[in-house]
Chains A and B, each alone.
Chain A
Amino acid sequence: MLSSQEQSRFEQCAIPHLDAAFNLARWILRSRDDAEDVVQEAMVRAYRFFGGFQGGDVRAWLLQIVRNACYSWLEKNRRGDLMIEFDEEQQALPGPTPETLALANEQQTLLANALESLSPRYREILVLRELEGCSYKEIAAITSIPIGTVMSTLSRARRQLQLAVANPGRKEAAREL
């Protein structure tokens, strides 16, 4: 009885944030297919923990689980992505992914490319703020970093994105000046 109640509570509270979960994973992982796998697993995990969820911001709670799942996945399957340092000089990532190339218009491709050229930490913070519309407090909760760090990271991430947009395809694009 408890369990079917929980099931429907999960469907009402958590499932509506599936788009948010997928979008975040897609941009952290830079792949729709991988995002689909990781999100599916993360949702089942979230479901198992849902009984212990004390209420509050379901979206933040869910995105935190999805985000952690993405990083574990990268750790296991694509450590290279995690090596991209924030401000250090970096090797550019291998060109645009098929996902990006499939995007329709030029503006979209340009921005998607630029976003994908950043480190995962910059990508996630921009996605949370600009696409998901999260407040600093929510971002802090999702990423488990202090608000002060959210602010400084976001400010650097935007700088990097601007550089990457201004200099598409250049290695230097993603460097801090």
Chain B
Amino acid sequence: MSCDLPRTVLHGYFDGELDPVRAAEFETHLEHCPECVAAFEAEESLRSSIKSAQLYEKAPAPLRSKVLSQTRRHSRFPARLRLPLWTWVVATAAVILFAFAGWRILPGPRNNSQVLAAEILDAHLRSLQPGHLVDVTSSDQHTVKPWFDGRLDFSPPVPDFAEEAFPLRGGRLDAIDAHSVAVLVYGRRKHVVNVFLWPVKEADAAPRSGSLQGYHWIVWRKGGMEFWVVSDTSLADLEELQKLFSQ
């Protein structure tokens, strides 16, 4: 007995890289192919032993400070040419013009949060592409939280709401508005909920919600953190999650 299915299909499935049609085909194949079942189980056990061996080696602290001090030193000697005066004049004029145009077209702080909402939604959609959802896959808050250590300059809270039917699925880093932010990923039935959070200086703010292209979001600030939850699940679900976070 020998299976002639290319091994790459099994690995593609194992890594979540097959499109839904091919994944379904492979699942059907698995039902009839003990050889692939055995190979698949071997891959799973290899992955779990890699995981438990904790082979990831973080950068030693001295390296971090050496890199920082070196790049900072370099930045004191800009390699760039000095710009002639007229470019400054043009640039300043452009900034004033844009600021004026922006002020005319998009009023006040609402603009800001709309722009940010669009950016968050983009990040949410990006995260749904294969392989982008989580950098650390775990339903254990004590695995996810330490994972952020050293990757961010703040320590995000990582609550687990499995009992409230929002099981933690993992975490990842993302960049919002050119800042690194923490993202916690929760499941809600078949939906994915992304929770973006980062430290802010502003005071606490009550939740506000909005919708964009069929997705809902809620934003609030509490205890020096700004939170954005976004998902295609119902707004009521998100409100529930928001309350859990604010407890």
Q: Is the CB of A47 within 8 A of B63?
A: no
Q: Mark A27-66, 1 if CB is under 8 A from B, else 0.
A: 1000010001001100110011001000000100000000
| Contact across chains for B49 and A15 when beta carbons are under 8 A apart | no
Q: Contact mask A136-177 → B, CB, 8 Å, 1/0?
A: 111000000000000110110011011001000000000000
Partner of A136, one of B17, B53, B67: B17
One of A2, A19, A107, A158 near B78 (C-beta < 8 A): A2
Partner of A40, one of B70, B74, B78: B70
Q: How many A-B residue pairs have CB under 8 A?
A: 137
The answer to whether the Cβ of A69 comes within 8 Å of any Cβ in the partner chain is no
Closest chain-A Cβ to B52's Cβ sits at a distance in Å of: 6
- Find B46's partner among A22, A40, A161 (CB 8 Å cutoff): A161
Contact indicator B67/A44 (Cβ below 8 Å):
yes
B180 is an interface residue with CB less than 8 A from chain A: yes
A51 nearest in chain B by CB position: B80
Could you tell me the distance in whole angstroms from the C-beta of A91 to the nearest C-beta in chain B? 24
Contacts of B53 in A (CB 8 A): 105, 107-108, 110-112
Contact of A137 with B57 in the complex, beta carbons under 8 Å: no
The docked-state distance in angstroms from the alpha carbon of A27 to that of B78 is: 34
Does the CB pair A12–B179 fall under 8 Å?
Answer: yes
In the complex, what residues of B have CB within 8 A of residue A43's CB? 67, 70-71
Residues of B contacting A16 in the complex (Cβ-Cβ under 8 angstroms): 151-152, 173, 180
A168 to B52, CA, bound (A): 18
